[in-house]
Structure 1
Amino acid sequence: MSVPNDYLIDRRRLRRKLGWWRLAALLAFGVAGLVVAVRLGGAESADKLTPHVARLELKGLITGDDDTLDLVKKIGDSNQAKALLLEIESPGGTTTGAERLYEELRRVAEKKPVVAVVGTVAASGAYIAALAADTIVARGNSLVGSIGVLFQYPNVYKLLDKWGVEVETVKSSPLKAAPNGFEPTSPEARAAIASLVADSYVWFKNLVRERRNLDEEELAKVTDGRVFTARQGQPLKLVDLIGGRREAIDWLVANKGVAKDLPVREWKKKTNLERLGLVEGAASLARVVGLQSLAGFLEQSVRLERSSGLDGLLAIWQGSTAN
């Protein structure tokens, strides 16, 4: 019995379609495998494999998280990153986090030039990070300073007393878990906390004195906790240059021998979902095959995978930067 020609033609078309999809699937798996191998092997993207100026944004609260520190270390270890352009937009964070970040940035500065560029604000812990740079550049209206340390806690014992609520505590010694906010703060507890603040404050001031080359009189003018505009801060030696990224690059070229035509490449940390680079690929593939809802979900999952927290002593400026 002979087979109809229409049937044979349909079979050939089906085989061609199946062959195309098999090829597409093999290519997709190949690309995914290459991405995984590159990521797990520690290699950076192709634009990081040629000489460049590394650009790192320091935004939000500074906690000294491992991801940021690892990224700073990678820039320091990169043979192709000829300098670090640290762009800061932060009111500060924890004193320990700022200390960790400062130390890692100083390790980078031992290997290559580092210049800090301040956006709207680099205060408290963020200014500690800026101190690690070889020079600090800021816009005229940028806010810098807030050199000081803060310890805050809510005390609600009067409110509880008003409502007849009492929190009973059994502890080994009077200063254990003090202050706790459920009882009046004793003079001894207040003195203990004040000693912590004072110790960190002395460390902060010594850092400013050393890095900005200030004498005692100059130091006293800038360490009362206030913020300064960059125009105010420049004659006080808190800022070196008024300007932005362009002025920072010009400084690197003129003072550190960085090639003028080097491109600026952005370095940024990945979230856990981004590390293998597979979520973006899956989202793109979903869009190609028409699964718009799935693609949107995958992209949103990456955006939502962010968290931050603060604990301990703070070096942070609290205020409004709006006109």
Structure 2
Amino acid sequence: MSLDADSIVDRRRLKRRLMVWRALAVVAFAAVGIALVGDVDGLPGTDHVARLYVSNVIVEDTHRQTALEELRDDDSVRALIVHIDSPGGSVVGGESLYRAIREVSEEKPVVVTMGTLATSAGYMVAIGGDHLIAHEGSVTGSIGVLLQSANITGLLDKIGVKPEIIKSGPLKAQPNPLEVTTPEARQAIKDVILDMQEMFTTLVKERRKLTSDELKKVSDGRIFSGRQALELGLVDELGGEKQARAWLAETRNVPESLDVRDVVIDYGEEKWRRLVNGYIGKTLFSKRLSLDGLVSLWQPVAW
């Protein structure tokens, strides 16, 4: 009888020990999880500075728009750093991202840092920020709009091919590689390009507070180094993220001690397609863009 009582006591002790070890295991896992979160992004809901990377060819992106809307309304986001390393992209892509950044700026400070490239639509996006910072060797500017096409009618004549084109009007589907561009068609296309160029330069003039003469110097499509851009009023400062944090602390009361967290954009099933597109050559990708809309893209010959 005494043996049975001892067994019962031992079992109870064993159960208590197991419960203690289980509780310790739960606490340990929780501590590890908190540590990992703290190392990567800090605790959710704590004040921080958000960082958005804009790279490769810029196209319209509703997922990125949504992410910007969410951080705009997130009180724990004290400021936004936009890092741009892009040769440009479609006019609509640049315009839509510019306006999304301006909406964020209405609620919290936005500072832009430039990497190797921030040209064409990339610069359009940049001027959405409150303060622009470039490295001395950054390449920016290339303020302009272009539409590229090719005329292969001479080649078709040589190989004995004559295209048949039936359309509703003489200006439909212009420019068209299969027919010679008429003066009327060329002028119609030029009018559209100049109208979009006026939109672009108006944004630059307003955001950078340039005079008409100053604007004329920078809006002929040429590129500028970061040092030249500073002299011409296209950027506010030379440096990188360190200078961005200093500016936020000195002028917008955003402590430099706050964590910086990258903006995570949820593309869902589109993630792999976008990853592949990111590695497609800029020249090849820009050909598809020319079918969808006008392009604001710096295209060096050696690229």
State TM-score, norm by structure 1.
0.74
| Equivalent residue runs for 1:116-135 within 5 Å | 116-135=112-131
CA distance in 1, matches of 2:270, 2:221: 39
Verify: 1:50 aligned to 2:31, yes or no: no
Structure 1 equivalent of residue 193 of structure 2: 197
Q: Give the aligned partner of residue 217 of structure 2.
A: 221
Q: Distance in 2 between the 1:153 and 1:178 partners?
A: 9
Is the partner of 1:136 in helix, strand or coil? strand
Q: 1:217 to 1:303 in 2, by over 3 A?
A: closer
How many angstroms apart in 1 are the aligned matches of 2:242 and 2:82? 13
In 1: Cα distance, 2:211 partner to 2:198 partner: 15
SS in 2 for 1:91: strand
Question: 1:92-111 residue pairs with structure 2 within 5 A?
Answer: 92-111=88-107
Q: CA-to-partner distance for each residue in 1:293-316, whole Å, 9 max, x for gaps?
A: xxxxxxx89955878752211111
Q: Which runs of 4+ in 1 moved over 3 A?
A: 45-48, 300-309
The total of aligned residue pairs comes to: 255
Residue 137 of structure 2, aligned match among 136, 141, 149: 141
Match of 1:312 in 2: 293
Q: Once the 2 structures are TM-superposed, how far is the Cα of residue 157 of structure 1 from its aligned partner?
A: 1.1
Are 1:161 and 2:142 counterparts? no
Q: Is the 2:42–2:259 contact (alpha carbons within 8 Å) kept by the matching residues of 1?
A: no
Conserved 8 A contact 2:171-2:185: yes
Give how far 1:159 is off: 0.8
Q: 1:39 maps to what in 2?
A: none
Summarize the Cα distance change of 1:254–1:172 in structure 2 as closer, same or farther, 3 Å threshold. same
Provide the C-alpha distance between the structure 1 equivalents of 2:275 and 2:149, rounded to a whole number of angstroms.
31
Q: Percent identity?
A: 41
Contact 2:144 2:200 in 1 (8 A): yes
Q: Which residue of 1 aligns with 2:56?
A: 60
The alignment status of 1:83 with 2:64, answered yes or no, reads no
Deviations 1:63-91 (A, max 9, x none): 12111111221221211111000000000
Counterpart for residue 28 of structure 2? none
TM-score by length of 2: 0.79
Aligned to 2:70: 74
Quick one: distance in 2 between partners of 1:165 and 1:321? 33
Deviates more, 1:107-116 or 1:254-263: 254-263
Q: Is the 8 A contact 1:98 1:126 kept in 2?
A: yes
Question: How far 1:49 moved relative to its partner?
Answer: 2.1
For residue 255 of structure 1, the aligned residue among 251, 257, 265 is: 251
Deviation of 1:227 (Å):
0.6
CA RMSD in angstroms comes to 2.3
Counterpart amino acid of residue 71 in structure 2: I
* Structure 1 residue 274: Cα displacement: 8.7
Cα distance in 2 between the residues matched to 1:69 and 1:119: 22
Structure 2 Cα separation of the partners of residues 233 and 214 of structure 1: 13
Q: Which residue of 1 aligns with 2:226?
A: 230
| Amino acid across the alignment from 2:128 | A
SS at match of 2:193: helix
Partner deviation per Cα, 1:135-159 (whole Å, 9 max, x = no partner): 1001000011000100111221111
Q: Quote how far apart the aligned CAs of 1:46 are.
A: 6.5
The answer on whether the counterparts of 1:136 and 1:241 sit within 8 Å (CA) in structure 2 is yes
Letter in 2 for 1:180: N
Q: Secondary structure of the equivalent of 2:232?
A: coil
- Corresponding position of 1:270: 266
SS of 1:255's equivalent in the other structure is helix
Residue 113 (structure 1) aligned with residue 94 (structure 2): no
Q: Is the 8 A contact 1:205 1:219 kept in 2?
A: yes
Opposite residue 316 of structure 1, the aligned amino acid is L
TM-superposed deviation, 1:244: 0.3
Which moves more between the two structures, 266-275 or 170-179?
Answer: 266-275
Residues in 2 aligned to 1:255 and 1:206: alpha-carbon distance in whole angstroms:
27
**Structure 1 residues 94 and 305: CA distance shift in structure 2, 3 A:** closer
Question: Which whole-Å deviations, capped at 9, do the CAs of 1:145-182 have from their partners, x for residues lacking one?
Answer: 00010011122111111111111011111111122110
Q: Is the 8 A contact 1:273 1:302 kept in 2?
A: no
| Structure 1 letter corresponding to 2:57 | L
